[in-house]
Structure 1
Amino acid sequence: MTGALTAGLWGLLGGSALLLGAAVAWMARLPQRLIAAVMAVGSGVLISAVAFDLMDEAYRQGGFAASALGFVAGAAAYTAANVALSRRGARHRKRSGAVDHARQPGADEAGTGLAIAVGALLDGIPESVVIGVSLLDGSGVSVATVAAVFLSNVPEGLSSAAGMKKAGRSAAYVFGLWSAIALASGIAAMVGNVALAGAAPATLAAVTAVAAGAILAMLVDTMIPEATAETHDYSGLIAVVGFLAAFVLTKSGGGG
């Protein structure tokens, strides 16, 4: 149970970055270009985590077949769920309102709040499960993975809260939503740690790869469009900086 509690606390730490980002966006009027740049950094960080932490670990544990199948399955599952949620009002849940078509739905639209909340869960749970799984080998949590999740959640909370504020949503709604998602992130990490304790290496590989596929699909569908909305010419370079920072962290001993 100690391991599960530890996993939960690490997952909660990663999820708490949503609240940090939301608080910054709520208290300060940030330029759209700055929000987009932060999203670009977060995208680069997560791409690095997918490549050098998640998929590399999945391949090491279960080989190519389990990791490849899990990777595609995770992306397909995320895409199917994201399409369903997009049709219910959560299409632009990570958008800050930088362009007209990216406005958050109005607070009075039926079902929109629930769709945004479920969408945020869909984005965050794969990351949290991986944090829980990373503790199973007894070598400690992957600092690089937690850092990647935390750094990518800051811009998500920042961008979404900025858009929700423009849509007229209340502070209670915004901070209540992100508090619930942060708590759910901790629970997901605990569940991942408990449910997969003693699982075969191929199973762990598949689960890790599923999370990696879902995270990469989420990046392309949601975070990268926001990053390029206002920083067209520089978003690639900014993302490379985020990627390099996470890569250095991984290779300098922060990988576990």
Structure 2
Amino acid sequence: MLAALGWGAVAAASLLLGTLLALGRRWRAGLVGGVLAFGAGALISSVAFELAQEGLDVGGPLPVAAGVAAGALAFFSADRAVERIGGRDGGRPGGLPLALGALLDGIPEQAVLGIGLATGQGISVALLVAVFVSNLPEAIGSASDMREAGTARSRILALWAAVAVVCTLATVGGYALAGVVGGGLQAGIDGFAAGALLVMLVDQMIPEAKEKAGDRAGLATVLGFAVAAGLSTLS
């Protein structure tokens, strides 16, 4: 259990690191867009080589498909709620959708890490690095947007600290539930994370990366995909 807590904290630490980097200095819009594009490529690789493939291997296509649908609907519904809150306040969501995506992706993803620990599969250093590669841009992009929207630094830091804590606890939860979680449920968890990520990528992350980084966004996305795919191969 302590190992799950420790590794979960390591995996989630990149969310806080990205937030601190965003709050420590003002990032040019083009640089934020490039970071977001790189992260989008890394997340696409995560969906293809980590979540979907792992789900298919342990539970087959039906649980993965059900999880993808549930994850997509969950992010879509929660994102609409965030937009309505922003609209009532007379402002923009200011990075909240990216934080929401990190949460909906991070909980099932880190729960799978805990399940792997409990079942003796261990933790791959390459996989942990891949989590860092995908988490950092989400946190940097979201915290930068929230800062530009006028959100207080203390609120930004508190939000991302809460996301990191919840994701860490998800690793412990996965470890605790490993004895009763079958392959079908694990596949559904993988699918849920994949579905939430795909909707977040298309609706939020990629359009913002393109808007801020321009034509360079595509190249940065390919680079992020290549790095994360290489790490997945190593793991």
Same fold by TM-score, threshold 0.5 exceeded?
yes
CA distance in 2, matches of 1:240, 1:153: 17
Q: Normalising to structure 1: TM-score of the pair?
A: 0.80
Q: Is the 8 A contact 1:52 1:247 kept in 2?
A: yes
**Post-superposition offset of 1:47:** 0.9
Q: Which amino acid aligns with 1:183?
A: V
CA distance in 2, matches of 1:139, 1:119: 27
Corresponding residue number in structure 1 for 2:22: 25
1:161 aligned to 2:143?
Answer: yes
Specify which structure has the higher proportion of helix: 2
Match for residue 104 of structure 1 among 89, 94, 115? 94
Match for residue 43 of structure 2 among 41, 46, 50? 46
CA distance in 1, matches of 2:116, 2:211: 34
Corresponding residue number in structure 2 for 1:81: 78
Corresponding residue number in structure 1 for 2:232: 250
Q: Deviations over 1:96-124 (max 9, x none)?
A: xxxxx96739xxxxxxx9x9976763453
1:223 aligned to 2:205?
Answer: yes
Corresponding residue number in structure 2 for 1:94: none
**CA 1:82–1:167: 2 relative to 1, 3 Å:** closer
**Post-superposition offset of 1:140:** 1.0
1:130 aligned to 2:127?
Answer: no
* Unmatched segments (≥5 aa) in structure 2: none
Q: Is the 8 A contact 1:123 1:215 kept in 2?
A: yes
* Unmatched segments (≥5 aa) in structure 1: 91-100, 106-112
Q: Which amino acid aligns with 1:146?
A: L
The secondary structure found in structure 2 opposite 1:135 is helix
Q: Is the 8 A contact 1:144 1:249 kept in 2?
A: yes
Q: Normalising to structure 2: TM-score of the pair?
A: 0.86
RMSD: 2.6
Corresponding residue pairs, total = 232
Q: Is the 8 A contact 2:37 2:210 kept in 1?
A: yes
Q: Is the 8 A contact 2:47 2:194 kept in 1?
A: yes
Corresponding residue number in structure 2 for 1:15: 12
CA distance in 2, matches of 1:103, 1:214: 18
Q: Is the 8 A contact 1:46 1:148 kept in 2?
A: no
